[in-house]
Structure 1
Amino acid sequence: MESSMLQTCTNLIKNAQNIVVLTGAGISTESGIKDFRSQTGLYQTSPEYILSLDNFYHNPKGFYQFAFENLYHPQALPNTGHKILAQWEKDGRVSHIITQNIDALHQKAGSKKVIEFHGTMKTATCQNCRKSYTAEEMIIRRNTMDDFYICDHCHTQNRKDRYIKPDVVLFGDTGEWFTIDGFNEIINIIHQADCILVLGTSLKVTPFSTFPQYRRDDIPLIIVNKGDSPYDNTKDSYVIHDSIGETLTKINSSFHPPFA
């Protein structure tokens, strides 16, 4: 890590009062959660089908098996990066975190203003009556019922209408933030920021990848990610290819007591 770049990023963050943070899988890998799209990720072929709405409806039991084995990490703990972001929010430095992650580690660390753009694995919802089930309830149902994925709180002629889907955004799916109002709210949040901090994402998956484009002119874009991104060489971009936890610890130490 170049000391001059680190110092520049430290000064930008130290002087910012409305940082919007965009996070991806790279911040969660430091908590032991495997990513998907890297060379060592969980899948290298057909991710668009494995995590698609079609696959969920075609093979709900197989989908849930994959999801609980690979997407649900109740034992994972927030790492230093998550904790520092929560502290910066408490300090009034970070206004929002917009994350691609579905593991809720930002909330576990204490962050309050978190937009889970791709949803969450913590809950699942009946697609007919909208009854909500916790992941723990779905695990119990899966262990005790054959058709655990079919809601028994409501009734329809077509059983598929009563499928209970995890509240993650799948390929071919829509989510809470995949609406005109949702997009506009995020764009407004980013437009008000005086610094955009990107952590652990290559910014190559749309529409999440478009968000930095909505920052105001001359607003700095700080990217901490081990891989490259399309924004690395754009105007007002500052890039550090290093560990998120180590980088944020060094930045934090310039204006905060050592982080426990």
Structure 2
Amino acid sequence: MVDKKMKECTSIITNSKNIVVLTGAGISTESGIPDFRSRSGIYQNTPEEILSIDYFFQHPQNFYQFAFENLYYPDAAPNIGHEILAKWEHEGKVKHIITQNIDGLHQKAGSKNVIEFHGTMKTASCLNCSKLYTADEMVNRKNSMKDFYVCDHCETKYPEDHYIKPDVVLFGDAGLWFTYEGFNTISSIIQQADCVMVLGSSLKVTPFSTFPRDRGPEAPVIIVNKGKTSYDFEPNTYVIQESIGKTLQMMDEQLLYSRLK
């Protein structure tokens, strides 16, 4: 049975042609990737210091060991939630996905217009010459070289100036989208949305948490997250505290049913 709130959300999606989706760790936990901030998340057992740019420079080998054990899941597969978002993009409903996740599962599912706000673990780059290394290359280097994190494509006076850093945004770091132009681009995308969906994010981490406020005054917000968010009681906001995959599957089935009527 489909409850009233689910019907309302499905109606919104049916009538939307420019949905912008904001995703967090909660959409990837259903693919077996641990989240960060829940009671069992990485941050509960690991000091945030390890995920800082300072720690990377001071202990690059330890940093990579931690990153490969806790942040890199090359065998993870997209779940039904990722797949439905890719389907909705193909159908012209979802225009952009802006994600906090670094796992690349949206792209694996077939989504094209994805902004990886916190970067990706799929690649790493030399801080001097910008030579790109795949994560698999870095694993192989780690297993076969002592100073695997030092780029051998260029030279600098100090080795740390040509360290190879994963293309993720660390604490104290700045990423591709953490610029004036980047924020303006994201703000413009959200302003044009006729619906904003928040999937699997507690919206606690700034500046990502501020993005829903960039929407137009008429654009509804649909939040699917098992925990509470600070937006839950705002006007024109619909909250479903259930599994993302299960919820999106029900919505997609209702969309198909409405087309067949």
Counterpart CA distance in 1 for 2:86 and 2:182 is: 23
Match of 2:224? 224
The one-letter code sitting in structure 1 at the alignment partner of 2:133 is Y
- Higher mean C-alpha displacement, 108-117 vs 248-257: 248-257
Tell me how far 1:40 sits from its aligned partner. 1.1
Matched, 1:101 2:121: no
Counterpart CA distance in 2 for 1:193 and 1:17 is: 8
The one-letter code sitting in structure 2 at the alignment partner of 1:80 is I
Counterpart CA distance in 1 for 2:246 and 2:47 is: 31
What are the Cα deviations for residues 132-158 of structure 1, in whole angstroms up to 9, with x where unaligned? 100011011000000000001101111
Residues 45-124 of structure 1: matches in 2 within 5 Å?
47-124=47-124
Match of 2:192? 192
Residues 1-260 of structure 1: matches in 2 within 5 Å?
3-44=3-44, 47-256=47-256
The one-letter code sitting in structure 2 at the alignment partner of 1:172 is G
Distance 1:39 1:2, change over 3 A: farther
TM-score (norm 1): 0.97
User: Matched residue of 2:183: which SS?
Assistant: helix
Structure 2: gaps (5+ residues): none
Work out whether residues 18 and 193 of structure 2, in 8 Å CA contact, stay in contact via their aligned partners in 1.
yes
Aligned length: 257
Percent of aligned positions that are identical? 64
The one-letter code sitting in structure 1 at the alignment partner of 2:13 is I
Work out whether residues 10 and 255 of structure 2, in 8 Å CA contact, stay in contact via their aligned partners in 1.
no
User: Matched residue of 1:122: which SS?
Assistant: strand
The one-letter code sitting in structure 1 at the alignment partner of 2:92 is G
Counterpart CA distance in 2 for 1:18 and 1:94 is: 6
Tell me how far 1:50 sits from its aligned partner. 1.5
What is the root-mean-square deviation in Å for CA atoms of aligned residues? 1.2
Tell me how far 1:187 sits from its aligned partner. 0.2
User: Matched residue of 2:125: which SS?
Assistant: strand
Tell me how far 1:255 sits from its aligned partner. 1.9
Tell me how far 1:14 sits from its aligned partner. 1.0
Counterpart CA distance in 1 for 2:179 and 2:103 is: 22
Counterpart CA distance in 2 for 1:254 and 1:7 is: 8
- Higher mean C-alpha displacement, 6-15 vs 185-194: 6-15
Tell me how far 1:45 sits from its aligned partner. 5.3
Tell me how far 1:256 sits from its aligned partner. 2.5
Counterpart CA distance in 2 for 1:227 and 1:189 is: 26
Structure 1: gaps (5+ residues): none
